[in-house]
Amino acid sequence: MAGISQNITYVVLGANKGIGLGIVQALFARPQTTVIGVVRDPVRASNLEDECSKGPRGEGSNLHTLAVDVSNVPERDGLKELIKSKLSSSIDHIDVFISSIGQTGLMKSALETTAQEMREHYEANTISPLMLFQAFWPLMQQTSTDSEASSPKKVFFLSSSVGCIGELMEPMPGGAYGPSKAALNWIVRKLHFELRDQGIVSVAVHPGWVQTEMGDLAAKSWNYPGKPPMTVAQSVEGVLQVIDGATQENSSGKFLSFDGQEVAW
């Protein structure tokens, strides 16, 4: 599936299941698209390739995989070396960075959440997305002759309304997941101000309450009867519409829902 990158090149973190997998499959079905799927280990990388081989592949599109353990992500320089060793022969630039990595357990109250739970959630939900973005940043600064000059570079971090501070939406517990996503939102907002002069579009996206392992755990934590209201396909469709339509003027520096509506920080 490997090949020289063409047209639009995407990086998708958390690519082996749930929303991340859905995004990879949808992008891979588009023509002239290169997708780099970042997963936790080589086994998941192989599984991702198998899943994508079962679905449609756009003409001229390619899939690459990269294994990084987000529960114990290396420092930026180590990640840069890993990316260089695995991708330098086939990838010369990145147009769109999408972080869909994250973890949650049963969400407890703030009084019950442990130090270990906080550390684990910040490592996976806050530190890893930022370190991986830093590592891919040199490639985002490059432009391919195959890319449309008018297309802005874009950065998206899938967050959650559970991390909202300005508008706490319910009295339900957020455990360590909520504060780790709130910290991620701060990073996205800061990246907007740091990178906007370079034309970078930086957006936090709430993908909805989705029927995934994480969504099901949230339902269990909140004693919700039944499954979360959204399917993965519905979430992916909305998230990609936000990604495709995002510009400096309408989206950068904002926290947007899958339906394009602005969410309170």
Each of the 265 residues of the chain gets a pLDDT tens digit; together they read 444 444 899 999 999 888 999 999 999 999 999 999 999 888 989 999 999 999 999 999 999 999 988 777 778 888 899 998 889 888 999 999 999 988 877 778 889 999 999 999 999 999 999 999 999 999 999 987 654 555 789 999 999 888 888 765 566 777 888 899 999 999 999 999 999 999 999 999 998 876 666 666 666 666 677 776 678 889 999 999 999 999 999 999 999 999 999 998 8
End-to-end, the C-alpha distance of the chain in Å comes to 40
17 is catalytic: no
Catalytic residue among 177, 190, 224, 227: 177
181 is catalytic: yes
Alpha carbons within 13 angstroms on the beta-carbon side of residue 236 total 18
Catalytic residue among 17, 153, 154, 181: 181
In the numeric block, the tokens 């997963």 are attached to 39
pTM of the model: 0.90
CA–CA dist 15, 20 (Å, integer): 4
What is the number of other CB atoms lying within 10 angstroms of the CB of residue 248? 15
Assign domain 8-257 one CATH number from 3.40.50.2300, 3.30.360.10, 3.90.1150.10, 3.40.50.720: 3.40.50.720
